[in-house]
Amino acid sequence: MTNRLPVYAISHGGGPWPWIKDLMPVDWAPLEQSLQAIPSEAGVAPKAVLVISGHWEQHAFTVQTSPNPPMLYDYGGFPDFTYQIQYPAPGAPAIAERTQQLLADAGLPAAADPNRGFDHGVFAPLYVMYPDAEVPVFQLSMLRGYDPAAHLAAGRALAPLRDEGVLIVGSGLPSFHDLSKFGPASSGPSIEFDDWLTETMVEFTGAERSERLLDWAKAPSARVCHPREDHFIPLLVAVGAAEDEPGVRQYHEDGFMGGHTASSGYRIGEPIAAMA
């Protein structure tokens, strides 16, 4: 038996979707149910949730250190009330400081930001997972340039946090993220890449899985699905934090956001409850 928390690579959906489900012609139930399942699936209440969001990149891996992070409404074109949403989860300054030190000890560029707010890659899925906002949450940025090896290395450096009660979540849209092609044009490419990604995440572990992910751009339809890989790279950090452990597809649908797009999310490592 172990107290090591699993790691997740999730799809965070679109904009402030949990607050406008009834205003959109989209069935959010598959994504919503997968996110709602994570707290019980993980097996214990985490001391904190560390989120790597596809909406934050810096010249160093930068840790959000505010004890009470503000909100960052990094979307446009939604109803006025969605710019008043509050997700008042506390931050985790002490764990954030340890996170920064782990990265620095691994020889990675690391920094802190005391002012950064929760972007929607954090507050939208976390609201579904922990609607009472009682669990501390803090963010880690991606490294500008999206070097896959650097993000795998960051995950490896942060793996000890899993034994200390921290739930690590890579938050993006790992199967497909090209806003100009959502709809019929996304169907074939997203299915091709999603099939490759699921095979990689589920059928491979350790160095084999990591090598495939390092060469992700050579996968079928990879650059059609991710012309800019900001929403894919958070998955690399998640994988690095559980590199030698098995993965499962924890979420999947072929009609994401009411369209034709394949979308998946993954858990790496076994839930604590499953080991009791």
> What is the tens place of the pLDDT at every residue in 253-269?
988 876 778 899 999 99
Please tell me the distance from the alpha carbon of residue 187 to that of residue 189, in angstroms, as a whole number: 6
Domain boundaries, the chain: 7-275
CA 37 to chain centre: 15
CA 275 to chain centre: 24
The CATH code belonging to domain 7-275 is 3.40.830.10
CA dihedral 268, 249, 36, 57 (to 10 degrees): 60
In this predicted structure, which of 98-112, 118-132, 187-201, 237-251 has the lowest mean pLDDT?
187-201
Residues present in the chain in total = 276
> What is the tens place of the pLDDT at every residue in 167-184?
999 999 999 887 666 676
Instruction: Provide the whole-model pTM.
Output: 0.96
Per-residue pLDDT averaged across 133-141, rounded? 98
* pLDDT attached to residue 1: 44
Strand ranges (E), the chain:
7-11, 48-58, 61-64, 110-113, 137-143, 166-172, 247-256, 261-268
Dihedral sign (CA 81, 84, 90, 96)? positive
pLDDT at 50 over 80: yes
Residues 253, 263: contact at Cβ < 8 Å? yes
Per-residue pLDDT averaged across 16-22, rounded? 95
* pLDDT attached to residue 266: 98
Tokens of 106: 């691994």
Three-state DSSP at 152 gives: helix
Please tell me the distance from the alpha carbon of residue 166 to that of residue 155, in angstroms, as a whole number: 13
